[in-house]
Each structure stands twice: as C-alpha cells, then as structure tokens.
Amino acid sequence: MAKATFLEAIRQAQHEELERDESVFMMGEDIRCNVFGTTTDFVEQFGKERILDTPISENGFIGAGAGAAMVGMRPIIDATISSFLYPAMDQICSIIAKSRYIYGGQARLPLVIRSCMFYGNSNAAQHSDRPYAMFMNMPGLKIIAPATAYDMKGLLKAAIRSDDPVLCFEDSTCWMSKSELPDDPDFIIPLGKGDIKREGSDITVVAVAGAVPIALKAAAQLEKEGISLEVVDPRTLVPLDRELILQSVRKTGRAICVDPAHMTCSAASEISAHIAENAFDALKGPVLRVTTPDTHLPFSPPIEKPLYPSVERVVGAARRLMNAQQPVEA
C-alpha cells in the first residue's frame, strides 16, 4: 500500500477494472487529453476503441452509454462536471433509472456516470452544483459520494462491477487528500456501507462528501472543550446505511447533518427525517442541519465561501446543541 491522492484513486480504480474486464470502456468529454489526471496513459494501454472522446452533447453520449450497457458492456461515463448532468436528465431519469423496472428485470444497466462537484473556487452559478439530492429522489439509481481516496477507489471499483446504474459524485475539495490505497485488484467497498470516521459520545455528525474533513476538524477543535463528536460518513447515499446512522444517534442522543448541497430536500434533510422518525425517543435535542442556503452561487469569493458548511458553523451548531433547552437553528 502506498499513499495517493483522491484523483490517483480514481485513476487506479478505472485502470484496474479496464484490465480486469474487457467489457469495461470509458467515454466522455476530454478524457483522452487527461484533464484531471484520471486517465493517464489509458489510450496507449487500452486503445482508442475503449477510451472514447465524445462531443459536448451529454444527452447524446450518456444515452449511448445506456444503450451499450443494455447489450452487455460496462461503460464508465465521464460527464466532467456535475452541472453538466442536467442536459442528460431525460436519459438518466427516463431510461437509465427505469429500464430494469419497465422491462420486468430483463434489462441490466451496468454503467457508472462520474461527475465532479466543482464548487468553492469562483466557478459561479452554472458550474458549482452539488445535485446528488435530485437523483436520490429517482428510484433505480445508486449514488456514491466518497470523501477519501481510500473510499473513492473501493467504491468506484464496486460501482463498475455493479449491474445497476451508479452515479459517482466526486467532491473537488477532496482531490488533494491522500490515503493508503490497497494494491489488491479485488479490493472493493460494498455499496451501501457507511463508515465511522471518528468515534465520539456526545453528538453524531453525519457528514456528506466534502463535509467529512470539515466535521473531523470541528471534532478535533471541540475535543479541547470537552465535547465529543462522532463523525459518520455515509459514503453511499443510495442505498443509505440507515442502521449505522441510527446506531450512532442512539448512542449519542444528538445529531447534526452536514451537507455541501442546498438545504431544501437535501441529503441532510432525508437523513434528518430518518433520525427523527426512527430515533426520536433517543434524542436529547433537535436534529440540526448545516448546509448551503437555497441560493445560486456567486462568482465573488468573499460572498461565495461563507455560504458553504465550515468548521466554524459545525462548531457553533454543536455548542448550541449541547446547551439547547429550546429548538435551535444551525
């Protein structure tokens, strides 16, 4: 095992699965020119027949990927940025998500759609979306949102091997983070299994994607004040490891959900509702959400950056929750 970045984990996962299974191929925007370093030397190793550049037509090439999956191939589709999924909503929601159901289980769609959540760097309103919650509302799709290089590699390999369509949301704020990556070509992390990133006793913090390192920093800061946070990383949003979340909340009696996406109908909202419906008797205070407000994201860094979850906002929510006698807002 050697330490490698989040981006290198993506490259390794794809490389290993391309080597393992000849039905695996890649298609998408600018993948041959290796924009983010996740397809280094792929054309030389696997040929242009398996590493396909596409026109800038997301509805077209994602639809082509769906057709390839239906006839036995395993495409990895690189949509580059998550905001670019919107032009392909018809293919994703009407065809990819529903085909197994409408064909009575006779159709399989073993495909992965990768996209980067490219926010926090003045990418403005049309390139800063974190839209995974929209797709959580569409049955038939699995969704992964890793926060570490280790999880990225294991989950992506499991997604490529899955017979169901998987949307892979890659948080750009995690790109330079490093983990020890297993060399075993059969290393995978099963979809639907969350992870306790830090054990604690006072508050459960369920953190999504790039919110995980923020929650861990908040936990380290609050430890000095005698407040113990348990940080739960769902890793997979669909299927969600609901029991792991409930086990933690029943232990701590308090919960904060931290999510880089907008608050309304967010992953944080679904997780909060799940806790309130199934662990209400264990709660010592309200379930709080630390999210991005329901506003489009500006270009201006001084205006943009305070909108996202931060260590300060998580620390503030935890302090208020520990002292809460009345309902409070994050």
Q: Phi and psi (nearest 5°) for 22? A: -70, -10
Q: Is 127 a residue of the active site?
A: yes
Structure tokens at 265: 């109908």
Q: In which element (H, E) is residue 100 found?
A: helix 99-102
For residue 125, the 8-state DSSP code is: T
The sign of the dihedral angle between the CA atoms of 126, 33, 90, 138 is negative
User: Which among 15, 127, 262, 296 is annotated as catalytic?
Assistant: 127
| Angstrom distance (rounded) from CA 325 to CA 134 | 34
Structure tokens at 244: 């792991």
* CA-based nearest residue to 112, from 167, 62, 53: 167
Structure tokens at 41: 């030397």
| Angstrom distance (rounded) from CA 216 to CA 149 | 16
Task: Give the chain's radius of gyration (CA, Å).
Answer: 20
Structure tokens at 266: 């967010």
Strands (E), 82-165: 112-117, 142-144
Give the length of the chain. Answer: 330
Q: Phi and psi (nearest 5°) for 62? A: -70, -35
Q: So which residues are the catalytic ones?
A: 127
